[in-house]
Structures are given as C-alpha cells and as structure tokens.
Amino acid sequence: MSAVIGQTLGTFQIVGKLGQGGMGEVYRARDTRLNRDVALKVLPPAFATDPERLTRFTREAQVLAALNHTNIASIYGMEGSALVMELVQGEDLSDIIARGPMPLTEILPIAKQIGDALEAAHEQGIVHRDMKPGNVKVRADGTVKVLDFGLAKALGLEVTGDGDPMNSPTLAVGATRIGMILGTAAYMAPEQARGKTVDRRADIWAFGVILFEMLTGHRAFEGDDVSITLANVLKDDPDWRRLPSDLPPSISRLLRRCLEKDPRRRLSAIADARLELDEQEAPPAIAPQPAASRRRPFAAWPAAALVAATLLGTAGYVFWPSRSGSASTVSSRLSILPPANEHLYPDSAAVAISPDGTMVAFVVGAVSGAVSGSDSQIWVRPLESVLPRRLEDTEGGQLPFWSADSRRIGFFSHGKLKTIAASGGRAETLADTPGARGGTWNAENVIVFAPDAQGPLYKVSATGGKPEQVTTIDPARKEAAHRFPAFLPDGRHFLYSSLPGKDGKFEIFAGSLDDPSRTDLGALEATPVFAEPGWLMYSRQGVLAALPFDPRALKITGDPVMLDDEPSTVFDPINSFTAAHSVSTSATGSIAYYSAPSINTTATWHDVNGGASSVLKVPPGHYETISISPDGTRAIMSRSTSPSESSLWAVDLLRGGASPLSSGPGRNDVAIWAPDGERVVWAADRDGPQNLFVKNVSDGAPERLLYANDTLFKGPVDWSRDGRWILVSQLDAETSQNIWLLDSSGTTPPTLLIGGRGTDLSGSLSPDGRWIAFTTNDSGRLELYVQAFPTAGRRIQISEQGALGSWWSRDGRQLTFLDDDRNALWRVDVQPGETFAASVPKKLMALPADTIFVDAMPDRQRFVVLTPELSGNGSLTVVQNWHAPARR
C-alpha cells in the first residue's frame, strides 16, 4: 500500500513522512476520532497482497500490543496494512552519540530506562532483536522510549540494505532458521551474525554495544560494509582502550559481561545490568583478602595429577589461572566432570564442598530418576585425586551437606535423613523426612534440617535422638515453609528462607539454636550461604552475587558484588527445590557449584508404532511441561527462565510456533484444559502462595483469579468431562500431597477427595465420570491406583513398577501411564461401567532416559516428549580464592 500525504487511512489523516527503513515507511498522522497524533508504520507492499503473512503479523502485533511500559513506545492497533503506534517526540540516541562521548551522568539515566524497557519485554517473553541507537528516542524531559519492539520477528521481512552497517537489513526470523541474519550488523550478537535463533541475551549484547558507544562516541565494532562489520563482531573484541580512564570498575565489568561472545557466559538477565547501574551512586564493596595461611593454591598440586587429568576422559579437571599474575590475587578454577557413563544431577543444591576445602560431594543421577529416588547416589571427589568415588549405601541420595570437621556427609534418601562417613561405610538414619528441603551441620554435632516441603525447621543430634522443632511458622506472615538452613560461623545461628516467596524472592532470616527469636535479613532470590570472611553468597538472576555481611551483628553491611560465575539450576515440576542454595562454600575461600551446558528443551513427537518421528517447532527455551488440548490442535507449555520464574506459551501443534499466554510474574505452571478446549486453568505464585488462574485461550483478555487460599503449593491436575469439577493436587501441612475436588466456578471451597500420610498426585477422571486414576506412594513407591468417583471405594492397584501420571482412552477402555522413572509408557485394558477391572500392564513404548515430561494426544497413539537439549553432561566448578581482586 502507498500512503500519500493529505489522504486518509480509516480514521487517520496522513500529515507528513517521518522516515523509511527496512520495516516500512513511517508517517505522522492525525487520529480524527481520538484527536491525537500517531505514527503510522506502513508495511511493505508484499504484505498487502499476502493474507497469510498479514494474519501472522497481526497475531504478532497483538502480542506486542500487550507491552505497556513507560519506556516502550506503545502499539495502538492495526489499520489495514499499517501499524498504529505512539508518536514519540524527541531526539534519536544515534544523533546524541554522533556529537561525541557522553558523560556518565547523562548515560546512566538513559541506560537505566533502556534496561527497564528490555526487562519489561523480556518478562513477557518478547525479544527486541533489533536494538540500536536509532530505535531509542530521548524526549526533552529525559524520558527514554524504545521503538519497534519485536517487529523484526513480526514482520518476518527480508529486505536489501544500502551497505551501511548502521542501516543494514533487518531480516526474517524465519530466515534465521536456514542460516540468514536478523538484526542490524553493528549491534548484532555473534549468534545473530551466524544466523542462529536468538533469545533475550541478544538484546543484552546490543545493550552493551549501545552503552560502549555512549561512553566512547565510537562503535564497538567498526566496518566499511555489512560483511566486514559482521566479521569483526565474530572475531574481534571492542577496543577497551577507548573507555574513559575514570570509568567505575563495575561499569567496565558490566560491559565485558554484556559483550561475552559466548551467550552462555553473557549476562543472562538485563535486570542485573539495570541494578548495577542503579548502584553507581554507592561505592562498590571491596572484598578483603583471606589470610595467606588459609589459602591452598591449586598450583601446588602434583604435576602428575595435572597430566593424568588431561589424559583421562572422565572425572578429570581443567586448570587455568585468573587474569592476574600475582599469587596473592589469583582465583584458580577446577572443573569436575561426571564419572564415566553417568550424569550429574543438574542442580547446585546437589553439590557440597567440604568445610576444609579438600573434597566435593555431589549427586549422580538424572532428574527423572531422582524423582523416585531410585538411581541417584552420592559421590565424593578429593580435590587432590583424579577420580571420584561412589559412596555405597547412598541410593536415592539428594541434597548432601558436610559435618563441620569434614569427616561425614549428611544427605536425604527415601524419606529419611541419613549420614555417612566421607571415607565410606554404612549410612545411619536419623529422622523421617518425607519431603526434605536441606540440612546443615555444626561443630557441636547438631543438624538443622527441613524435613518436608512445608512446615518449620527441626534440629537433631548427629549421634541420634528425637528431632526437635527449632523454628516456628508465623501465620501472621502467611508463612508455609522454612527451607535450606545454613549455619553461620558461630555454630549457633543459621540462615534459612521463608516460603511462599513473592516476585521471585524469598524472605531470609537468621535463626538461633538458643532462643526462638530470629532476624529478618530481607528478601533475596535464593537462600544464601555464608562465605569467609564476611559475605552472603546467592544466585541473582542466574549470576553469583556476594553480599557483605556481619555474622556477629547479623546485619547486611553493603551492596551485592556480582561475580563472573553463573551457577545453573533446573527446576523440576515434580521434585521442586525452590529457594535452594546456588553455591556451596568452604572456610578456606573455595566455592563449588553446578554448571550446565544448556537448559533448552526439545519437544519430540513419538508414536506407539514408529518411535520418535519429528520435532515440535517452538521457540528455544527450557520447557518443563506440556498440556495438549482436547482436540489435539494446540498445547500449553510452561517455559522456565529460573527456578522462580516461568511463563505459559500457547503452541500450534499443526503448524508449529508459540506465543506467550500468561502475563503475571513468578511461576506459572502446569496448565489444564477445560473440556470445551477454550479455557485453561493453571497455578501461579505471583501473590505468594500458588493460586489458580483461568483464561480463555482464544481472546486477548487477561487471566482471572479462579481460586485462592494460603496453602503454599497447589495445582490443577484434571478437569472433568462435564466441565463441573477441577481436580487439584495440594501440599497440606499435616498429610503431605493430597487431591482435592474444586467446583470449576471457584466459588465454593474444595473438598478432600484423596488423602493420607503419603504423596497423592496426578488425578485423572474417566470419560464416564465414575472412576479416578491417581498415583500415591502409600506403599513406599509411587504407584497408579483407581477408585470410584466421587464417592470413594476400594483402591485397585494398576501399576506394578511405579507410575507418575495417566491418560484414559476416549471410550474409557484403556489406561496409559508413565512409569516413575519416566523411561517408558505402559498400558492396561480396563472394564468400564459400574464395576472396574484391569488387565496386567504391558509396556507400550520406551522413552528417552532423560525425559522431563510427557503428554498424550487425544487418540493416545501419539505423544509429545520433552527432553533436555544438552551440549554436554554439565560439570562442577570449584573456585579457590573467589574474592581475589582480579575477578572484580
């Protein structure tokens, strides 16, 4: 379509032309209906004659229109093939930069507002993809507006450029799948330049390039044309010598973290960049050095051990010095690989370094096996040894922690708190722990532990005895759980987190063995651990942070220092270690954490006859669950960015592709479809406890609260075929996980349907509404049972080797279920009607050993299986002298 000045387009009168770029012509227009000026971005002519592309663009534009933020130029709607946008008056940031380097006092407010805009978009799952100074407007009052959010993806448009890297082509997101490039060359992340699919880290790279340009007045990557500029992005570093000599070290460090060529090492969340900028008004805390007598340099290890580690393919280590050449300021690193043919449990809560810094205990076993506790085990690696060794009698072991003298290890296995000598032997059982969430051990042989996912902390003597409650749940705070205790140096006080959290943070307290009082230390993203000589260490948006702390006064004394380390954690929807420690510390200046090679997920189609067939096309990310619609055309997938943040995405199963569904912060988990296929219900913890929200998937209306109470964890598991009932699995303080029956209107309180001391999960109602299939571990292992509905009767056991979830066939004559190791699907023939009978289970099909989640198509012949997309096995990282100035 060609717009002419003076003509009208719908209710908009064209006033003048504002500009032209790869995404179309832009005009100033008068909205004659609302009496305001707007910007009309007229789409390229190819769109006017391509209904499919226009429909796709309109769908993407609806997603972008949901962005409502002070620093983001708003999208008002569509008029024909033109996009109606907020008219932003002001100067392009590119024009401001062209005048030369900007002072830091001018840069900070602009950079902070750009960061705010990116953070708001990333929280909605929207990536800009074309960040550059030309897409940033600075109004006369100092307000920053970021333009063209997500339009590169929405347009899917390949155009030609004029050879200027500042105005080089913005190409189709679809084209990137076949190796083409998306973005503006001078600001592209290396993965963009290589034609790979991108995520929010591409925006973080561009943010770093813009910040560099504001500071220096020069582009970070120069070039006479697009090809040379792209080559420089891929192979060169910015000329760091151009940076001002008086630039604060934290800003220099921030730039380097934004401009890491490997996206896995790049700053993972723009919120951390914004927080770093916010903290420029306060001087950064500097870490004091530990006494020389307390260091144990890795360089002193025998040379033969280094050679052996190089030659061995498993359980070896890689050694390299820090950027400093001074021995007094060296941070040394050790990478511990998994044993041969084994998998590290992918969570930093499964790693513990001994207090004397000489050994690391860790858990071997995939996430799926660890759920049932059947194949995980504790291993120990002496740091001066090449090989780790498995501790016998630790089957099902999780969450290891050390005694103060580094001689014994505490862990949790099969619902018990146990200890074992680090040298091996038989494990000793100390207490029942049906849903353990961490432990800690002081020099007086007192262990403080969280026995369950809900409730207070307890203490017990490591030599045996009756556990005693040591913290008290405060109903006035709506507390439900205390988790992951960690002793402070005096051995009398301990840190712990209080759940539920809010906005991705948890209240942190210092408790005491001597009295019931406690000290509120504020809210953090994870439970911290103490590190000598005076720091609290925790993960902040995926990056390790050190917070200055006085352990005697129980007081935080400064602002957090961001480190170069990025501990990894994988949230498992069945076995959640929410608020877990991100790192383990020793008294010698060494730390240990888990490093994952990747957290992306692959969704693969499997069928009962031919096994794996094809991959479901969805944007890259770490997906945890999938729920397929009753007609098999759509699905809802939960996508996690951290243990405390996840969102729901609507997926087109026929054509591929996904778009955000949920809009709230925090965790949004496990959507369940209504039988009409138009609504879904899910659990979200945006208000603290997980509550139930419902949304119509076919319109743009936001979700609404369906049901809320103060219970910490609850989630829907099924919706009855008549639409009347929603089954809810709820974590109850006295009786673990139970299944409740909720009226789908949400107007009346739920009633208990299946309860007891065990864990009851995954209820599934038969098509005729007479029977419910569910899993419970009353026998000591999760097994599938069937009983009458709604009036309970005799339980009939279906599975024989463990089960997690089940699906009824449409006629109710077959029941398919997933085993508790997530290694296979099984099927039984059943007799529906007034009575119930089932055949012996038969194995239907094998699943990948690392399966995360499964859901079935309506015909129960095809399944979508989620598996991790890993580029390796992951490793454990040990850092000695972590607070050396060279790492600042």
Say whether both 373 and 452 belong to one domain.
yes
Q: How far apart are CA 159 and CA 157, in angstroms?
A: 6
Say whether both 70 and 124 belong to one domain.
no
Give the chain's domain count. Answer: 4
State pLDDT tens for residues 786-825: 999 988 888 899 998 889 899 999 999 999 999 887 889 9
Q: Which CATH number characterizes residue 52's domain?
A: 3.30.200.20
Domain end position, chosen among 67, 87, 107: 87
Low-confidence winner among 283-297, 432-446, 455-469, 845-859 (lowest mean pLDDT):
283-297
The whole-chain average pLDDT of the chain stands at 81
| Residue 224 domain flag | yes
Say whether both 474 and 554 belong to one domain.
yes
Q: How far apart are CA 802 and CA 784, in angstroms?
A: 7
Sorted by sequence, the CB contacts under 8 Å of residue 752 that are 6+ apart come out as 738, 739, 740, 741
**Mean pLDDT computed over 579-592:** 90
Domain end position, chosen among 87, 119, 138: 87
Please report the DSSP string for 61-129 in residue order: HHHHHT---TTBPPEEEEETTEEEEE---SEEHHHHHHT-PPPHHHHHHHHHHHHHHHHHHHHTT---S
Angle CA 397–398–399, to nearest 5:
140
Say whether pLDDT at 291 is over 70: no
For residue 10 the two structure tokens come to 């719908």
Report the largest interatomic distance among the alpha carbons of the chain, rounded to a whole angstrom. 88
Backbone angles phi, psi at 644, to 5 degrees: -110, 5
pLDDT of residue 569: 59
Please give the residue that has the higher pLDDT: either 45 or 515: 515
For residue 40 the two structure tokens come to 């009309």
Say whether both 82 and 180 belong to one domain.
no
Say whether both 106 and 27 belong to one domain.
no
Q: Check if the beta carbon of residue 399 is closer than 8 Å to that of residue 366.
A: no
Q: How far apart are CA 160 and CA 144, in angstroms?
A: 29
Please give the residue that has the higher pLDDT: either 326 or 792: 792
**Side chain identity, residue 472:** T
Residue in the structure block whose two tokens are 């009398």: 492
Pairing of the two strands 319-320 and 389-390? unpaired
Say whether both 220 and 318 belong to one domain.
no
Say whether both 270 and 387 belong to one domain.
no
Say whether both 877 and 856 belong to one domain.
no
| Residue 295 domain flag | no
Listed residue (849, 854, 839) closest to 805, CA to CA: 854
| Residue 154 domain flag | yes
Q: How far apart are CA 550 and CA 303, in angstroms?
A: 39
pLDDT of residue 265: 83
Pairing of the two strands 389-390 and 600-607? unpaired
Q: Check if the beta carbon of residue 727 is closer than 8 Å to that of residue 717.
A: yes
Listed residue (470, 471, 452, 473) closest to 460, CA to CA: 470
Q: How far apart are CA 145 and CA 114, in angstroms?
A: 8
| Residue 304 domain flag | no
**Mean pLDDT computed over 346-365:** 89
The 3-state DSSP class for residue 52 equals: helix
Q: How far apart are CA 627 and CA 646, in angstroms?
A: 15
3-state helix, strand, coil split of the chain in percent (to 5) is 15, 35, 45
Highest mean pLDDT: which range of 1-10, 280-289, 799-808: 799-808
The 3-state DSSP class for residue 857 equals: coil
pLDDT of residue 9: 83
pLDDT of residue 157: 38
Full-prediction pTM beyond 0.85?
no
State pLDDT tens for residues 745-778: 988 889 999 887 778 888 899 999 999 999 988 7
Say whether pLDDT at 126 is over 60: yes
| Residue 301 domain flag | no
Q: Can you give the residue range of the structural domain that contains 492?
A: 312-597+873-887
Domain end position, chosen among 57, 87, 117: 87
Sorted by sequence, the CB contacts under 8 Å of residue 35 that are 6+ apart come out as none
CA 303 to chain centre: 40
**Mean pLDDT computed over 166-178:** 34
Say whether both 771 and 702 belong to one domain.
yes
Q: How far apart are CA 391 and CA 397, in angstroms?
A: 10
pLDDT of residue 313: 27
The 3-state DSSP class for residue 627 equals: strand
Q: How far apart are CA 261 and CA 191, in angstroms?
A: 8
Q: Which residues pair with 417 in a beta bridge?
A: 412, 431
Q: Which helix (H) or strand (E) holds 231?
A: helix 226-235
Listed residue (582, 649, 595) closest to 620, CA to CA: 649
For residue 487 the two structure tokens come to 């002793």
Low-confidence winner among 53-67, 217-231, 252-266 (lowest mean pLDDT):
53-67
**Side chain identity, residue 593:** Y
Q: Which CATH number characterizes residue 203's domain?
A: 1.10.510.10
Sorted by sequence, the CB contacts under 8 Å of residue 483 that are 6+ apart come out as 437, 438, 450, 496, 497, 499, 527, 578, 579, 580
For residue 312 the two structure tokens come to 């061995």
pLDDT of residue 391: 94
- Active-site position among 116, 130, 685, 821: 130
Cα radius of gyration (the chain):
28
130 is an active site residue: yes
CA 710 to chain centre: 24
**Mean pLDDT computed over 217-236:** 79
**Mean pLDDT computed over 699-716:** 84
For residue 75 the two structure tokens come to 């999208």
Say whether both 684 and 808 belong to one domain.
yes
Say whether both 394 and 367 belong to one domain.
yes
Residue in the structure block whose two tokens are 């870490």: 287
**Side chain identity, residue 564:** D
Listed residue (549, 568, 551) closest to 560, CA to CA: 549
Q: Check if the beta carbon of residue 775 is closer than 8 Å to that of residue 784.
A: yes
First-to-last alpha carbon distance for the chain, in angstroms, is: 55
% of the chain surpassing 70 pLDDT: 81
Q: How far apart are CA 17 and CA 41, in angstroms?
A: 10
Q: Which CATH number characterizes residue 477's domain?
A: 2.120.10.30
Say whether pLDDT at 339 is over 90: no
**Mean pLDDT computed over 688-706:** 87
Say whether both 780 and 733 belong to one domain.
yes
Q: Check if the beta carbon of residue 157 is closer than 8 Å to that of residue 57.
A: no
Write down the number of H helices and E strands in the chain: 13, 60
| Residue 115 domain flag | yes
| Residue 290 domain flag | no
| Residue 294 domain flag | no
Please give the residue that has the higher pLDDT: either 155 or 132: 132
Pairing of the two strands 760-765 and 771-776? antiparallel
What Cα–Cα distance (Å) separates residue 409 from each residue in 465, 713, 747?
A: 18, 30, 49
Q: How far apart are CA 808 and CA 442, in angstroms?
A: 51
Q: Check if the beta carbon of residue 80 is closer than 8 Å to that of residue 45.
A: no
Q: How far apart are CA 152 and CA 157, in angstroms?
A: 7
Q: Check if the beta carbon of residue 763 is closer than 8 Å to that of residue 755.
A: no
Q: How far apart are CA 130 and CA 155, in angstroms?
A: 12
**Mean pLDDT computed over 538-555:** 89
